[in-house]
Amino acid sequence: MPGEPVVVLHTALMEEIGDNVQQILRQNRTSEVEDPDKIRAAVFYSVSSTQKGLRGIDLGMYLIKRAVADMRREFPEIVDFSTLSPIPTFAAWLLTKVRSAETIESLMTEPEVLEWNQLVADQADEQDQDALKYLQMTLPSNWYEDDETRQSLQGFITRMALTYLTQEKRRGFAYDSVENFHLGNGAEIYRLNWLADTSGKGLSQSFGMMVNFRYPPDAELIKNSNNYIFNKCIKVSQQIQQMLATFGLLPAPTSS
């Protein structure tokens, strides 16, 4: 119908780039009006189509670019444009890795193994003291409801999410479809967010992990997009570069 929106880009205007979707949704349900003097970031957290016939047609790229241009004019004080995006196939990928592993050491770093073994010793029944089997049983469960288990798994799951986003490839491009979309637009991997979506869907698809893809100014955006499309180079923030170095991960491959 004329005047009816075809696709909706849900955007939060914030003081800084958001890292938790439940927090954003809670803020949006209040009647509080944003203070324009405090707005420094626009965070795109959902895209939805209003027309059944358009489902499956990718309009997000054009909508995000249009939204960025419009908001730069309306809110010139905004310095950061970013998504808060799901990692929809991460949990399935990690569960496959865990179930096919032969030893816990093949999955975890030495510090992660030490922390996980301590948790197993404290929590597991005597017959369930095998660290790998306990991990295989724990991940599909409600592990996030237990403080000690959350703490023990945070480093491992975060490192594996970083591995998935920067190392796992399909024909040389990012394996994750959401990531591939934003990198192709010229965005960078800005930040990984632990337990950023604790809804049932968020936990089952990505163990609660979400990622910010930051959209830089136009000149850098075009450069990033071309470098990804033609050279298969993934642009990451300094924070992500430091994480890659800390975990001993190589830069993302640049050829298929």
The percentage of the chain sitting over the pLDDT mark of 70, rounded to a whole number, equals 86
Mean pLDDT of 142-162: 97
| pLDDT of 234 higher than 60 | yes
| pLDDT of 224 higher than 70 | yes
Confidence of residue 128 (pLDDT cuts 50, 70, 90): confident
Gap between the Cα atoms of 99 and 131, Å rounded? 13
Average pLDDT, the chain: 88
Q: Are 86 and 176 in contact (CB under 8 A)?
A: no
Confidence of residue 2 (pLDDT cuts 50, 70, 90): low
Please tell me the pTM assigned to this model. 0.89
Is 49 assigned a catalytic role?
no
Mean pLDDT of 12-36: 82
| pLDDT of 237 higher than 80 | yes
What pLDDT, on the 0 to 100 scale, is given for residue 129? 84
What pLDDT, on the 0 to 100 scale, is given for residue 251? 62
If one compares 16 and 68, the residue with the highest pLDDT of the two is: 16
Look at phi and psi of residue 248 and say left if phi exceeds 0, alpha if psi is from -120 to 50, else beta.
left
pLDDT tens for residues 66-97?
888 888 888 899 999 999 999 999 999 999 99
Confidence of residue 57 (pLDDT cuts 50, 70, 90): very low
pLDDT tens for residues 200-214?
999 999 999 999 999
pLDDT tens for residues 43-56?
999 876 554 544 44
Selected catalytic residue, list 82, 85, 152, 206: 85
Is 10 assigned a catalytic role?
no
Q: Are 109 and 159 in contact (CB under 8 A)?
A: yes
What pLDDT, on the 0 to 100 scale, is given for residue 60? 59
Selected catalytic residue, list 82, 152, 182, 206: 182
Of 1-5, 65-69, 118-122, 154-158, the range with the lowest mean pLDDT is 1-5
What pLDDT, on the 0 to 100 scale, is given for residue 38? 85
What pLDDT, on the 0 to 100 scale, is given for residue 139? 96
